[in-house]
Chains A and B, each alone.
Chain A
Amino acid sequence: MYIPHTDAERQQMLDGIGVDSIQDLFKDIPQDHLFPNMDLPDGLSEMEVLDQMNLLADANNSTDELISFLGAGAYDHFVPSAVDMLLRRGDFFSAYTPYQPEISQGTLQAIFEYQTLMANLTGMEISNASHYDGATAAAETVITAYYHFRKKRKSVILSPYIHPDYIQVIKTYLQALDDINIIIPETDSPEQFIKNTSSLINDDTAILIFQYPDFLGNILNFEDLINQVHENGGLTASIVYPQVLGIMKSPATMGVDFIVGEAQSLGLPLSFGGPYIGFFTTKKEFIRKISGRIVGETVDADNKRGYVLTLTAREQHIRREKATSNICSNQGLNALAVAIYLSLLGKSGFREVSNICYQKAHYLSDKISSLDGYHLVNTAPFFNEFVIECPIDASEISEKMAEIGILPGYDLGNFNSARRKQLLIAVTEKTTREDMDYFVKTLQESTNA
């Protein structure tokens, strides 16, 4: 399929090359390994493939069919129709990386606008063109700090209330850099983390990273810790869930140096975990230290405004083994989706959706915590995700709820066995009051029985 050649053309081409058959073109291949057998099915037509794929898709229970309160790093937000419709334009999705800027102004300007939107949303000065996801963006802040201090500062402090996948990814990325010391203080609560961590900060601290809201939904003030790290000459990063920035202050106001995170909630479907997009924003002074593509404004030979990939001397194709990161791409089409989403919602729409998530989540948390045996664990403010302590194990609740088509949230027993009676519950603008009331009713019934 998708191969246009006719028999006649093939023959003409072989004549033009000067060989008898296509096989002759493979004479450099070790002949006893040539044309191996592949135990694979025959090709299908488009109609047959659609049948097969529909069967696979139907074998799932999607969030359309279930009532889902799952969050934990991926959120079921509404994606406006205009977003996907624009992404379907072949001029966008079948375009290559904009290395020839004269014929890629569409992609370049869209990324430039994405950078502007993310910088303005987070309140930081600049943004790059994106990383693979929030976890890898977080890992890149550590690498940036490591090289910024010329490998002289070896200690990295991570809040234990960062998403566990993100902590794992940071560890993976640093495993070959032997001398880095990753410190994850053991604490009983997020508030205690802020208190206890003070004593760990010194002049060997390269970077301290916290999440906002944290994995358990808490929104805390890190300003004192950030100041302390800065007084010791180190850097700080915050992993932020961007939806919260619609109505709540950004950690930029606390003086943090990097704000990174997962921008999936800004116009990308759940898609079973990917592809997503890691945003990376920071202060101007670090622009040459950070990795990833960056688009800058300039003019052409006629003095017309245009855009190019800039500061490319940081990147792998120039620095090679001296590059701090091997990243060769950005999430292109996903950055475009985010730019469209934020442009479409705009100031009022984004405020609106952010507020709706907050209000619905607080409605649900009030309702659940008024049930016998259930209580809200969060003592700090939260946005749209919170922790409920249940009278029985969360896994038991999940099992019972599965039978009636409800995903009650994330079982925090996976995060920490001491929290096996706790559920991490997320609410978005897609969750209706009926769904929430039904959920509350069934929670009550599941523990009465």
Chain B
Amino acid sequence: MEVKKDRNYAKTDEWVKVDGNAGKIGISDYAQDQLSDIVFVEYLKEPGDSVKQGEVFATIESVKAAADVNSPVSGTVKEINETLLDTPELLNSDPFNEAWMGIIELESKTDIENLMDAKEYESYCESR
């Protein structure tokens, strides 16, 4: 199971990679593995919408499960990755790069303090 070091993680298995004032968000390798073959993605937020840390950003469906993707940070949605609408399976093959889900303009940098770093997340996953 991969855990990328350059980002922070929420307990609900989303990651955020901060770059200046913006945060790119997605789901972790652990999450895509739990869901197994992902068949559908629906975004519940559009560019321009505001979102709070923990609020539902999108829903993902696999053959055997459905899950909410909660935004790990608060802010304004700048972009959503529309490729996932046609090729949701990218979330299984490349959850950290090509299958990023959204870019959020951060409301405050302190949100990150509520999240885990890579090491903490790794131990958290191992304990489950």
Is the C-beta of B125 less than 8 angstroms from some C-beta in chain A?
no
Is the C-beta of B85 less than 8 angstroms from some C-beta in chain A?
no
Is the Cβ of B66 less than 8 Å from the Cβ of A288?
A: no
Is the C-beta of B82 less than 8 angstroms from some C-beta in chain A?
no
Q: Closest approach, in angstroms, between the C-beta of B92 and any C-beta of chain A?
A: 15
Is the Cβ of A288 less than 8 Å from the Cβ of B64?
A: no
Q: Which of A150, A311, A313 contacts B65 (CB 8 A)?
A: A313
Q: Closest approach, in angstroms, between the C-beta of A93 and any C-beta of chain B?
A: 29
Is the Cβ of A318 less than 8 Å from the Cβ of B64?
A: yes
Rounded to whole angstroms, the CA-CA distance of A150 and B44 in the bound complex is 9
Q: Closest approach, in angstroms, between the C-beta of A446 and any C-beta of chain B?
A: 61
Is the C-beta of A322 less than 8 angstroms from some C-beta in chain B?
yes
Give the size category of A's interface with B: under 10
The 0/1 profile, CB within 8 Å of B marked 1, for residues 301-335 of chain A is: 00000000001111000110010000000000000
The 0/1 profile, CB within 8 Å of A marked 1, for residues 60-91 of chain B is: 01111110000000000000000000000000
Residues of B within 8 A of A150 (CB): 44
* A interface: dominant SS: helix
The 0/1 profile, CB within 8 Å of B marked 1, for residues 367-400 of chain A is: 0000000000000000000000000000000000
Rounded to whole angstroms, the CA-CA distance of A195 and B63 in the bound complex is 46
Q: Which of A313, A314, A322 contacts B64 (CB 8 A)?
A: A313
Is the C-beta of B40 less than 8 angstroms from some C-beta in chain A?
yes
Rounded to whole angstroms, the CA-CA distance of A199 and B44 in the bound complex is 31
Rounded to whole angstroms, the CA-CA distance of A150 and B63 in the bound complex is 23
Of residues A313, A319, A322, which shows the largest number of chain B Cβ atoms within 10 Å of its Cβ?
A313
Rounded to whole angstroms, the CA-CA distance of A150 and B42 in the bound complex is 13
Is the Cβ of B40 less than 8 Å from the Cβ of A318?
A: no
Rounded to whole angstroms, the CA-CA distance of A239 and B22 in the bound complex is 50
User: What residue of chain B has the Cβ atom nearest to residue A150's Cβ?
Assistant: B44
Q: Closest approach, in angstroms, between the C-beta of B119 and any C-beta of chain A?
A: 32
Residues of A within 8 A of B62 (CB): 313
Residues of A within 8 A of B64 (CB): 312-313, 318
The 0/1 profile, CB within 8 Å of B marked 1, for residues 284-299 of chain A is: 0000100000000000
User: What residue of chain A has the Cβ atom nearest to residue B61's Cβ?
Assistant: A313
Residues of B within 8 A of A288 (CB): 40, 42, 61
Residues of A within 8 A of B42 (CB): 288
Q: Which of A313, A319, A322 contacts B63 (CB 8 A)?
A: A313
Residues of B within 8 A of A318 (CB): 64-66
The 0/1 profile, CB within 8 Å of B marked 1, for residues 76-105 of chain A is: 000000000000000000000000000000
Rounded to whole angstroms, the CA-CA distance of A440 and B10 in the bound complex is 77
Is the Cβ of B66 less than 8 Å from the Cβ of A322?
A: yes
Residues of A within 8 A of B39 (CB): 313
Residues of B within 8 A of A312 (CB): 63-64
Q: Closest approach, in angstroms, between the C-beta of A120 and any C-beta of chain B?
A: 26
Residues of A within 8 A of B63 (CB): 312-313
Rounded to whole angstroms, the CA-CA distance of A150 and B56 in the bound complex is 12
The 0/1 profile, CB within 8 Å of A marked 1, for residues 32-60 of chain B is: 00000001101010000000000000000
Ordered by A's residue number, 16 sampled pairs between the chains whose C-beta atoms are within 8 Å are A150-B44, A288-B42, A312-B63, A312-B64, A313-B39, A313-B40, A313-B61, A313-B62, A313-B64, A313-B65, A313-B66, A318-B64, A318-B65, A318-B66, A319-B66, A322-B66
Other A-B contacts than A313-B39, A313-B61, A314-B61, 6 sampled, CB-CB below 8 A, are A312-B64, A313-B62, A313-B65, A313-B66, A319-B66, A322-B66
